[in-house]
Structure 1
């Protein structure tokens, strides 16, 4: 339990900074809504955009002049930010003992490596949950301040639930890379590279429908924004498979960390 609190204390400042940045992202993004909802020049710009540009911006067929469509557009960047936080947190929380030369102190304690990883993953899980909660509350507050149409609180909750699953996937991905790579110090760069690659894939498949099969490689495409906006909710099958994927990465983290030769 002491290791759990130790990890939370170590990540406290970073979590506060990320939470503040997420609030500012939501607030600044929602501040642009009136430019499009009023049906003025901003709205016309979106209407005149080629479909390829709309796909790259994450607009697609979304109606950004209404709150549900605009929030879906903004959510793309919210989710990307949360995923970056999760993947970097997952890699750093496992690799930092070797990076900071404190691995000998930790391994020498009368606890198993499995207990060490459990404490680290639970601390990381709580941190991404806090960031998700901050984003959820920020979204409720800012949307209510600008929304003059129907209440979309249910849609926001579904968006944030899908984001939490994506956070879990990238958190566990970062952790398994740090545990499995021979040089865990480079796991952060590798994890960030994979995240960027998966985001690029999500944009490529938006541009070319015939490449939709590649969506399996991008957690950003596991949950359909249009489906949420249209009231279809989240796919239970995809939800279960995503949790299983995160669980598999977590299990591999235990396996690789238990087998690795820790550098002191």
Structure 2
């Protein structure tokens, strides 16, 4: 419990910063919605000039872009990208910061198992992510009520909003696995940004290929907002694939960490 509270306190500042950032993104972009609806024809002509792959990458679907939920998918893309960086940063720092700050041997001399240590750190990271999402959902719900021109489905809103959390959980699991596999991560932010943007640009590239199977490579492509809008549900195969990634990456992290040699100072 002491480890959990210590980690939670350590993440307090970053949780506040990320929460404010995601809230600012969604509130800023959604505040433009009335202007977009007012000049929809002009904006439609502008959007039609962009390649379809670019429109998909930034969450623009011309079929429903000028509905409030369709427009919401646009800032949601950037929120998901930022949320993935937050989660990857948390996951990558879970173990690596102890090695980098030369406190790993001190921590492991405490009368707790390695499983307890990793679980406490993981729970603190999850709490940080959940808090960030709660504030984001609250801000998104508030601003949409203020700028809406018609009623919208709250169920669809929540399905779209929850995609941020699901993507974050995948990147958190991947980050933890990297944290225990790599001997010494000198810069957590560098590794996090490189990993997240690599997956993001891979997703953009696969949009141009048109091959459905390649979507499994990038977590950013697991939740197609157009499909969610049309079917009011997620694609089952991608939902299962995401769960498998989280479970396998987390299980591998526990297995490796339990047997890993921790170098003393």
Q: TM-score range by the shorter chain?
A: over 0.9
Where structure 1 has 5 or more consecutive residues not aligned to the other structure, the ranges are none
Q: Is the 8 A contact 1:176 1:249 kept in 2?
A: yes
- When residues 254 and 188 of structure 1 are mapped into structure 2, their CA distance, relative to the original with a 3 A threshold, is farther
Query: Residues 256, 185 of structure 1: CA spacing in aligned structure 2 closer, same or farther, 3 A cutoff?
Result: farther
Cα distance change on mapping 1:173 and 1:199 into 2, 3 Å = same
Q: Specify the alignment match of 2:3 in structure 1.
A: 3
SS in 2 for 1:24: helix
Specify the SS of the correspondent of 1:184: coil
Q: Does 1:29 align with 2:29?
A: yes
2:118 is aligned to 117
Q: 1:236 to 1:51 in 2, by over 3 A?
A: closer
Who is 2:77 aligned against? 76
Cα distance in structure 1, aligned partners of 2:46 and 2:189: 38
TM-score (ref. length: structure 1): 0.92
Whether the 8 Å contact between 2:167 and 2:220 is mirrored in structure 1 is yes
- Larger mean CA deviation between 73-82 and 147-156 belongs to 147-156
Q: In the alignment, which residue of structure 1 is the partner of 2:172?
A: 171
User: Using the alignment, how far apart are the partners of 2:71 and 2:50 within structure 1?
Assistant: 16
Q: Deviations over 1:40-86 (max 9, x none)?
A: 53344224444354244332445321111101122111111111100
Quote the Cα distance in structure 2 between the aligned partners of 1:14 and 1:187: 14
1:245 aligns with 2:242: no
The two structures have a TM-score, normalised by structure 2, of 0.92
Distance 1:166 1:52 in 2: 20
Residue by residue over 1:195-245, the C-alpha shift from the partner in whole angstroms, topping out at 9 and shown as x without a partner, is: 211111111122221x43221110111111101112331123432331221
Aligned residues of 1:37 and 1:43 also touching (Cα < 8 A): no
Residues 114-141 of structure 1: CA distance to partner in whole angstroms, max 9, x if unpaired?
A: 1100000011011111111111111101
- Say which SS state the counterpart of residue 183 (structure 1) adopts: coil
Kindly indicate whether the alpha-carbon contact (under 8 Å) linking 2:180 and 2:253 is maintained by their aligned counterparts in 1.
Answer: yes
In the alignment, the residues of structure 1 paired with residue 96 and residue 160 of structure 2 have an alpha-carbon distance, to the nearest angstrom, of 31
Provide the residue aligned with 1:226 in structure 2.
226
What is the aligned partner in structure 1 of residue 131 from structure 2? 130
2:19–2:135 contact (8 Å) kept in structure 1? yes
Which is further off, 173-182 or 227-236? 227-236
Q: Does the 8 Å CA contact 2:159/2:232 hold for their aligned counterparts?
A: no
* Structure 1 moving runs of 4+ over 6 Å: none
Q: Distance in 2 between matches of 1:80 and 1:52?
A: 17
Aligned residues of 2:84 and 2:167 also touching (Cα < 8 A): yes
Contact 2:34/2:147, CA 8 A, preserved across alignment: yes
Where does residue 15 of structure 1 map in the other structure?
15
CA distance 1:109–1:245, change in 2 (3 Å)? same
CA contact (8 A) 1:222 1:238 kept: yes
Aligned to 2:236: 236
Q: Counterparts of 1:52 and 1:196 in 2: how far apart (Å)?
A: 16
CA drift of 1:177 comes to 0.3
1:151-170 correspondence runs (5 A): 151-170=152-171
Q: Paired residue for 1:213?
A: 213
Deviations 1:88-134 (A, max 9, x none): 11111221111122212211101111110000001101111111111
Greater mean alpha carbon deviation, residues 162-171 or residues 3-12: 162-171
Is contact 1:36-1:65 (8 Å) kept? yes
Gaps of at least 5 residues in structure 2 are none
